[in-house]
Chain A
Amino acid sequence: MKRHFRVWRGDAGGGDLRDFEVEVNEGEVVLDIIHRLQATQAPDLACRWNCKAGKCGSCSMEINGKPRLGCMTRMSTFAENELITITPIRTFPVIRDLVTDVSFNYEKARETPAFAPPSGVAPGDYRMQQVDVERSQEFRKCIECFLCQNTCHVIRDHDENKPAFSGPRSFIRAAELDMHPLDSRSDRKEYAQASQGLGYCNITKCCTEVCPEHIQITDNAIIPMKERVVDRRYDPLVWLGRKILRRDQLETRPAPSSVAAPPSSARLPASAAVGPDGHMDIAELTAPLQGGPSPFGDDLTFPIAPEELLYNHPDKGNKP
């Protein structure tokens, strides 16, 4: 059966959505369709992939606006006549077609202090209980697809926050080491707060939502780290204050940029649900879920209508 696809093609100099009619067979995933396009209509269509089994985290893309792995998105999940639009992940500079420059994530990983082995314990003498390693193991499931990084509104369309904010992938790394039974550093949380920009995170949970490994990034890593950082740094009374004040009023970090919507796409990167005072809602108190409203805006539902989908090159005069 032939189906209609739109794929963003271009490079750092610009580009646009191109239309393709492609054969689709039963049981296929979006990555299969990309491969068929390469083999038949667009041999130089750039796209990363390796395992085709959701294990390597290479094939991250945005499918009908939603950040996903191409190899784990079955064609049968779309309605029969649904137009399928594929764009590169937006938070990182595009290199060509669906391939983006994700070096940001590797740089942040390199800044996070490595595992510090316990002194005096010889290799082979490490003893740990399964229950104790399980907490860190959850985070070590991460396949580094960077979909969480791509989705997090602190840096999505906000390059200016990138130097100070390491993103959810880095937070789970810090949490993993923090919970590692034998790691000999005790300042992982403080580090996350002071150097990774944990304070910018207002637990919107969007990272958790897109994680293909279903890692509970917010609940199991970010929130515990925040709580305990606060526990250690402030007395319990101030802890209450945390719930009332905006996080960056509590900490001495520079405030995250105000989230004025830059015209970077047909679908405006919705103002991250800030109130008239420019502050985020105090999510923990008012929202039905812990964690706040979607940074895409509450009125946005996926999939997004095809005519609203567009990928505008961030460097092509689309900057505010």
Chain B
Amino acid sequence: MSTTIERHLYDVVVIGAGGAGLRAAIEARLAGKRTAIISKSLFGKAHTVMAEGGAAAALGNVNSRDNWMVHFRDTMRGGKFLNNFRMAELHAKEAPERIWELETYGALFDRTKDGKISQRNFGGHEYPRLAHVGDRTGLELIRTLQQKIVSLQQEDFAATGSYDSRIRVFQETTITELLLDGDRVAGAFGYYRESGEFVLFEAPAVVLATGGVGRSYKVTSNSWEYTGDGHALALRAGATLINMEFLQFHPTGMVWPPSVKGILVTESVRGDGGVLRNSEQKRFMFDYVPDVFRKQYAETEEEADRWYTDPDNNRRPPELLPRDEVARAINSEVKAGRGSPAGGVFLDVSTRMPAEQIIRRLPSMHHQFKELADVDITKEPMEVGPTCHYVMGGVEVEPDTGAALGRVQGLFAAGEVSGGMHGSNRLGGNSLSDLLVFGKRAGEHAAAYVETLPSRPKVAKVDVAAAAEVALAPLVRPGGENPYTLQQDLQAVMGDLVGIIRRAGELTDALKRLQELRVRVANVGADGGRRYNPGWHLALDLRNMLVVSECTAKAALEREESRGGHTREDFPKMSPEWRRINLVCSLEETGEVHLERKPVPRMRAELITLFERTELAKYLTDEELSDVEAQ
């Protein structure tokens, strides 16, 4: 095996080519920094491509009463007040600019009658707010950013004769380790998937934009890329993770046929009139409206149905409750024996709209069900159930800059890999806008950070050699364990014991099993050589999945309440005391996950007055409430 290692020098290295990574890279390049974009899959295939519904931004195009304050309120409500308020504020304020900017890059959103960007309804958003393109918004977003990068490369080509001179994409390249100089980021080490050869990026600033962790679950809408690499890289570099107990289970994943189990049915099916029924044909969501939401949701089917055409004078249907509520409701119906044959519930648009309208408004859903499941959604209902979809938790960052907290400097994070913005639950559509807002910020501040450095941090040779050895280990380990089996076992532990409904006993058991798995993962082996060897790639991803799963299980055991994407059967209530606490994970020298409690930052006075007292009373402790009143 060759030991030569290709070296590249950059100012900013962006790991991840989804919405967050591409937006960060654009900003770093615009700031004049030599920028590399690294991605595990081909350029333009990152997970963002799969987002369907839209990007939330208070453009006010459909309902002029919408503005950033309403959006901020919805976001905080959705996250059950655990969100980092500053991130939610920046997000609500800046999302419109970021969306409009996409149009200058060539994006073509669906339009309103007066030619503006059209916006659609979505769970948890008070007004129609999601800028969209049919149900392939993520594709539009990623293609637009991809093409913007191409256009920057064309400018560079005109100026320097090389497309790659200022911004270069390294596709099908996986980063396995971040390299430090003291506490400063010095570079990133990885391998080309195609050749299996190693590559070293020396750079003073790294932006993590690696997305989520869903691959640790059996039923998931996430692809093989979602192994929590960024989370794990950050931990190993000395950064911290917050809110790892909060995972979003999307309420409506396909449950039939088995091969497509987990694949998403977009929320816009419900936003556009689709309803949920159990095996008794009952619209059961009316029975599951929690008190905190009672005022905003319709109580009768008639009122709910009127809302689609007259949203100003009617309350919204309970099918549009935040995702965690819908997921839990479906889970309860199935447990109570009122589920569909394949263990989900029915989602029906066929009786609600004429076929042409369904095909026009939900073209890719129609296509997806037709091709994948042989179901015609204009004629029959779909069978859906909860699927692991999004991780709210992630790298703890400084809200304004995206800089990772903890010991390390020069590390930034944006997009799904970062934590805090969405609190305990993310509203649909808030992710795509999050990618743009914080991707831009991370790119900008990574570039600014590079400016402040007196000299470039240096990569130590021994660290590179060590990283190479770790990466090669599975290939040279005779009789190592099969990585696919290990992955299945990990998925079983997480799916069964740290799933949507959690219990102390099971979580303790999960932690024990994760320890056992850790020993086995240390002994993983891979057959075959270094060229495009998926077994080897999985073997290397496993240790990331494992450490991130440990964080999730530990935090889930610690948080003794139910909130958003974390439901404890033994602690079914939301607790105002727990709302003040963030759970923060770091990695000890020994490789053990260390968990600590940190206070949630307090909202500024002018923001907290955006809420009515009665609403605050549902979330805050009495002490906090009297503080608010005193202001």
Does B bind A?
yes
Are B259 and A44 closer than 8 Å at their CB atoms? no
Q: Does A27 count as interface, using CB distance less than 8 angstroms? A: yes
- From residue A15, how far is it (CB to closest CB) to chain B in Å? 12
- From residue A29, how far is it (CB to closest CB) to chain B in Å? 6
CB nearest neighbor in B for A181: B108
Which residues of the partner chain A approach B367 to less than 8 Å between Cβ atoms? Answer: 54
Bound together, the chains give a CA A55 to CA B223 distance in angstroms of: 12
Which residues of the partner chain B approach A186 to less than 8 Å between Cβ atoms? Answer: none
Q: Does B256 count as interface, using CB distance less than 8 angstroms? A: yes
CB nearest neighbor in B for A132: B111
Instruction: Tally inter-chain residue pairs, CB-CB below 8 A.
Output: 172
Are B106 and A180 closer than 8 Å at their CB atoms? yes
Q: Does A58 count as interface, using CB distance less than 8 angstroms? A: yes
Please pick, from B96, B108, B151, B527, the residue contacting A140 in the complex, using a CB distance under 8 A.
B108
Are B100 and A126 closer than 8 Å at their CB atoms? yes
- From residue B491, how far is it (CB to closest CB) to chain A in Å? 12
Which residues of the partner chain A approach B153 to less than 8 Å between Cβ atoms? Answer: 110
- From residue A297, how far is it (CB to closest CB) to chain B in Å? 28
Majority secondary structure of chain A interface residues (helix, strand, loop or mixed) = loop
CB nearest neighbor in A for B254: A53
Residue among B45, B263, B483 facing the most chain A CB atoms (10 A cut-off): B45
Which residues of the partner chain B approach A38 to less than 8 Å between Cβ atoms? Answer: 484, 534-535
- Could you give, for residues 479-502 of chain B, a 1 whenever the CB lies within 8 Å of some chain A CB and a 0 otherwise? 000111100100000000000000
Which residues of the partner chain A approach B527 to less than 8 Å between Cβ atoms? Answer: 43-44
Are B50 and A110 closer than 8 Å at their CB atoms? no
Q: Which of A72-130 contact B (CB under 8 A)?
A: 72, 74, 76, 95-97, 99, 101-102, 106, 109-110, 113-115, 117, 123-124, 126-130
Bound together, the chains give a CA A43 to CA B535 distance in angstroms of: 5
Bound together, the chains give a CA A48 to CA B44 distance in angstroms of: 13
- Could you give, for residues 121-164 of chain B, a 1 whenever the CB lies within 8 Å of some chain A CB and a 0 otherwise? 00000000000011010011001000110110110000000010
Q: Does B561 count as interface, using CB distance less than 8 angstroms? A: no
Q: How many residues of A contact B (CB 8 A)?
A: 60
> Would A27 and B533 be within 8 Å (CB), given that A43-B527, A57-B45, A74-B374 are in contact?
no
> Would A143 and B139 be within 8 Å (CB), given that A25-B258, A27-B256, A39-B484 are in contact?
yes
> Would A27 and B259 be within 8 Å (CB), given that A48-B41, A133-B110 are in contact?
yes
Q: Does B293 count as interface, using CB distance less than 8 angstroms? A: no
Which residues of the partner chain B approach A126 to less than 8 Å between Cβ atoms? Answer: 100, 103-104
Bound together, the chains give a CA A74 to CA B263 distance in angstroms of: 15
CB nearest neighbor in B for A130: B111
Which residues of the partner chain B approach A271 to less than 8 Å between Cβ atoms? Answer: none
Bound together, the chains give a CA A97 to CA B532 distance in angstroms of: 9
> Would A72 and B108 be within 8 Å (CB), given that A38-B535, A126-B103, A144-B44 are in contact?
no
- From residue B287, how far is it (CB to closest CB) to chain A in Å? 32
Are A128 and B115 closer than 8 Å at their CB atoms? yes
Which residues of the partner chain B approach A53 to less than 8 Å between Cβ atoms? Answer: 50, 260, 263-264, 368, 372
Which residues of the partner chain A approach B256 to less than 8 Å between Cβ atoms? Answer: 27
Which residues of the partner chain A approach B163 to less than 8 Å between Cβ atoms? Answer: 110
Bound together, the chains give a CA A72 to CA B259 distance in angstroms of: 11
Which residues of the partner chain A approach B50 to less than 8 Å between Cβ atoms? Answer: 50-51, 53, 55-56
Are B257 and A95 closer than 8 Å at their CB atoms? no
Q: Does B508 count as interface, using CB distance less than 8 angstroms? A: no
CB nearest neighbor in A for B41: A50
Please pick, from A28, A55, A58, the residue contacting B139 in the complex, using a CB distance under 8 A.
A55
> Would A124 and B96 be within 8 Å (CB), given that A39-B484, A43-B483, A44-B529 are in contact?
yes
Residue among A40, A43, A113 facing the most chain B CB atoms (10 A cut-off): A43
Which residues of the partner chain B approach A57 to less than 8 Å between Cβ atoms? Answer: 45
Which residues of the partner chain B approach A143 to less than 8 Å between Cβ atoms? Answer: 49, 139
Which residues of the partner chain A approach B371 to less than 8 Å between Cβ atoms? Answer: 54, 72, 74
CB nearest neighbor in B for A97: B532
Bound together, the chains give a CA A44 to CA B483 distance in angstroms of: 11
Q: Does A208 count as interface, using CB distance less than 8 angstroms? A: no
Q: Does B307 count as interface, using CB distance less than 8 angstroms? A: no
Which residues of the partner chain B approach A318 to less than 8 Å between Cβ atoms? Answer: none
Are A123 and B43 closer than 8 Å at their CB atoms? no
CB nearest neighbor in B for A107: B163
Q: Does B536 count as interface, using CB distance less than 8 angstroms? A: yes
Which residues of the partner chain A approach B105 to less than 8 Å between Cβ atoms? Answer: 115, 117
Q: Does B611 count as interface, using CB distance less than 8 angstroms? A: no
Which residues of the partner chain A approach B143 to less than 8 Å between Cβ atoms? Answer: 140, 142
Which residues of the partner chain A approach B225 to less than 8 Å between Cβ atoms? Answer: 50
Are B372 and A54 closer than 8 Å at their CB atoms? yes
Which residues of the partner chain B approach A11 to less than 8 Å between Cβ atoms? Answer: 531
Which residues of the partner chain A approach B118 to less than 8 Å between Cβ atoms? Answer: 130
Which residues of the partner chain A approach B136 to less than 8 Å between Cβ atoms? Answer: 55, 141
Are B224 and A29 closer than 8 Å at their CB atoms? no
Q: Does B465 count as interface, using CB distance less than 8 angstroms? A: no
CB nearest neighbor in B for A58: B45
> Would A52 and B260 be within 8 Å (CB), given that A11-B531, A39-B484, A44-B526 are in contact?
yes
> Would A43 and B526 be within 8 Å (CB), given that A95-B531, A115-B147, A144-B44 are in contact?
yes
Q: Does B364 count as interface, using CB distance less than 8 angstroms? A: yes
Are B534 and A45 closer than 8 Å at their CB atoms? yes
Bound together, the chains give a CA A171 to CA B423 distance in angstroms of: 44
Which residues of the partner chain A approach B111 to less than 8 Å between Cβ atoms? Answer: 128-130, 133
Q: Does B528 count as interface, using CB distance less than 8 angstroms? A: yes
Q: Does A209 count as interface, using CB distance less than 8 angstroms? A: no
Q: Does A296 count as interface, using CB distance less than 8 angstroms? A: no
- From residue A237, how far is it (CB to closest CB) to chain B in Å? 37
- From residue B193, how far is it (CB to closest CB) to chain A in Å? 9
Which residues of the partner chain A approach B139 to less than 8 Å between Cβ atoms? Answer: 55, 140-141, 143
Please pick, from A46, A55, A123, A177, the residue contacting B533 in the complex, using a CB distance under 8 A.
A46
Q: Does A249 count as interface, using CB distance less than 8 angstroms? A: no
Which residues of the partner chain A approach B577 to less than 8 Å between Cβ atoms? Answer: none
- From residue B39, how far is it (CB to closest CB) to chain A in Å? 11
Are A95 and B194 closer than 8 Å at their CB atoms? yes
Bound together, the chains give a CA A7 to CA B435 distance in angstroms of: 39
Please pick, from A43, A52, A137, the residue contacting B482 in the complex, using a CB distance under 8 A.
A43
CB nearest neighbor in A for B263: A53
Please pick, from B109, B224, B264, B532, the residue contacting A49 in the complex, using a CB distance under 8 A.
B224
A sample of 27 inter-chain contacts (CB < 8 A) reads A29-B372, A38-B484, A39-B488, A43-B484, A44-B533, A44-B535, A47-B534, A51-B50, A53-B50, A53-B263, A54-B368, A54-B372, A55-B50, A55-B139, A57-B45, A58-B42, A102-B42, A126-B100, A126-B103, A127-B116, A129-B111, A129-B115, A133-B109, A140-B139, A141-B136, A143-B49, A180-B106
Q: Top 9 nearest A-B pairs by Cβ distance? A: A27-B257, A44-B528, A115-B106, A114-B151, A43-B535, A127-B115, A123-B100, A39-B484, A46-B532
Q: Using a CB–CB distance below 8 Å, which chain A residues touch chain B?
A: 11, 25-29, 32, 38-40, 43-58, 72, 74, 76, 95-97, 99, 101-102, 106, 109-110, 113-115, 117, 123-124, 126-130, 133, 136-137, 140-144, 177, 180, 183
Other A-B contacts than A54-B368, A101-B194, 20 sampled, CB-CB below 8 A, are A27-B256, A27-B258, A44-B533, A44-B535, A50-B45, A52-B260, A54-B371, A56-B41, A58-B45, A96-B532, A110-B153, A110-B163, A117-B104, A117-B105, A123-B103, A124-B96, A126-B100, A126-B104, A127-B115, A137-B134
Q: Using a CB–CB distance below 8 Å, which chain B residues touch chain A?
A: 41-45, 47, 49-50, 96-97, 100-101, 103-106, 108-111, 114-116, 118, 133-134, 136, 139-140, 143, 147-148, 150-151, 153-154, 163, 194, 223-225, 256-260, 263-264, 364, 367-368, 371-374, 482-485, 488, 526-529, 531-536
